[in-house]
Amino acid sequence: MAGSFALNTGATIPAIGLGTWHAQPGAVGDAVYAAVKAGYRQIDCAPSYGNEKEVGLALKKLFQDGVVQREDLFITSKLWYCNNAPEYVPEAIQTTLDDLQLEYLDLYLIHGPIRLKKGTAPLSENSLPCDIPATWAAMEKLHEAGKARAIGVSNFSCRKLDSLLAVARVPPAVNQVECHPGWQQAKLRDLCRSTGVHLSAYSPLGSPAAAGVNAPSVLGHPVLTSIAHRLQRTPAQVALRWGLQMGQSVLPKSTDEARIKENLDVVDWCIPEELMAEMLEIEQVKLLRAEFGVHPVHGYKSLKDLWDGEI
Ligand SMILES: NC(=O)C1=CN([C@@H]2O[C@H](COP(=O)(O)OP(=O)(O)OC[C@H]3O[C@@H](n4cnc5c(N)ncnc54)[C@H](OP(=O)(O)O)[C@@H]3O)[C@@H](O)[C@H]2O)C=CC1
Ligand SMILES: CCCCCC/C=C/C=O
């Protein structure tokens, strides 16, 4: 097994989770099945990925085939931006639970500090002002009802996390954010460590398929490829191992069985300190910026405002 990190709930979160964003219907079910058979114990889902029903079918088959039992797995899902109004929250989780064919989630996250009009696409003109404390209070009710064993946030800056911690009755267990050698999140990691919030790293490989054609390649960065060469590992393994050594869980997405296995083979070796130090030289570029959250009237005034300068 690939190890785990402690959460402030008393539970643990598996160190490596399978990402499912951009995992196509028709491929995602096989990927989830193969990943769990290979030893993954965390699956990162979201209704906005459009594939929770197929993930649910794969989970059901894994249980029916006796590969694992429900309690062996850690399943995360997220509250989409269109459902941030407190009155929409109970129905949103229930839809996800029905699609995944589960009674409870191990972790339910506010997908981001962004609100969109109900039923609309992520476009700037669909933005609405957010009321994070109100959404959080609705999340706390889900936790109390046992539908989400842990609750947390995603895409929260230091400032937004601090503000939430100041009002939360149940503190967030996790902040799931973009984090890889090309966006290392030193300040946020320090805050998470000092407040007991686990940092979970999304796009840990630099999201090669989603970050855009002009985005710098994390896996192709010369520092990373050079370290990979010296350690006789792949750049993807070095990126993931870097994340684990920084104390964060990592959520690589793959629908390719060989890469699913490659991404799990990051536990019984380590990157020596002097090579970890070399990774500090990598120039920092945030890849997933969420321009759609910016609107002159209803949304954030600028990307700087959305990310509180952490961009
Ligand atoms: N909370 C949030 O707002 C967000 C959460 N996430 C979560 O994090 C997960 C991972 O992030 P994501 O943006 O998907 O990107 P990743 O950084 O995980 O990169 C995934 C891409 O890398 C390829 N890949 C996988 N393994 C390897 C390998 N060993 N060598 C080379 N290429 C590889 C995949 O292709 P292939 O499938 O062909 O192997 C895919 O194109 C998401 O799937 C989602 O679950 C992501 C973004 C935002
Ligand atoms: C504030 C949101 C940034 C995330 C970009 C879109 C990615 C979605 C995948 O979960």
Q: What is the pLDDT along the chain (311 residues), one digit of tens a residue?
A: 579 999 999 999 999 999 999 998 899 999 999 999 999 999 999 999 999 999 999 999 999 999 999 999 999 999 999 999 999 999 999 999 999 999 999 999 999 999 999 999 998 889 888 999 999 999 999 999 999 999 999 999 999 999 999 999 999 999 999 999 999 999 999 999 999 999 999 999 999 877 676 788 999 999 999 999 999 999 999 999 999 999 999 999 999 999 999 999 999 999 999 999 999 999 999 999 988 888 888 779 999 999 999 99
- Asked casually if ipTM beats, i.e. exceeds, 0.90, the reply is yes
Measured distance CA(85)–CA(289) in Å, rounded? 23
- Residues whose CB is less than 8 angstroms from the CB of residue 308 and which lie 6 or more positions away in sequence, other chains included: 157, 158, 159, 160
Neighbours of 107 (CB within 10 A): 26
Domains for the chain: give ranges and CATH numbers: 4-308 (3.20.20.100)
Binding-site residues for substrate, please? 111
Whole-number Å distance, alpha carbon 299 to ligand 2 midpoint, is 15
Which one of 49, 81, 108, 300 is the catalytic residue?
Answer: 49
Instruction: Point out the ligand nearest to the CA of residue 116.
Output: 2
**Does the Cβ of 263 fall within 6 Å of ligand 1?**
yes
pTM of the complete model beyond 0.80 = yes
